[in-house]
Amino acid sequence: MELISLLTSDVAEPQLFIADTLGALASADRVLRHTVRVFIAEQFNTSKASEKLFTHRNTIDRRLARVDELLPRPSAENPIAVDTALALVELQEDD
């Protein structure tokens, strides 16, 4: 329901969605945010994410541990919302 309201509501709604979904991750390092997006896209498979990112698996594990510290809730609870919020952050950075 939150995703639908993002498409139909006022300009402030995406900011609230980002803050509620990502917490401190919204302003974290771009590498961390990209890592979690790839991890979600690879269906939470660390090995596949590390291959995709050309990064050692232990590095991915450390990044994901940091992501878990920054997120208000684990990304596995609502990966679509997390990925959408991260995409919105990227769009805002590109503006």
Question: How many domains are there within the chain?
Answer: 1
> Which pLDDT does position 83 carry in this prediction?
96
Contact (CB, 8 A) for 18 and 88: yes
For residue 55, the 8-state DSSP code is: -
> Which pLDDT does position 12 carry in this prediction?
74
CA angle 92/39/14 to nearest 5° reads: 25
Domain that holds residue 53: 2-94
Query: 47-51 contacts: CB < 8 A, separation 24 or more?
Result: none
CATH of the domain at 69: 1.10.10.2840
How much is the pTM?
A: 0.86
For the record, the structure tokens of 88 come out as 């919105």
Q: Could you list the mean pLDDT of each consecutive 10-residue stretch along the chain, which spans 95 residues? A: 57 86 96 97 97 98 96 93 94 80
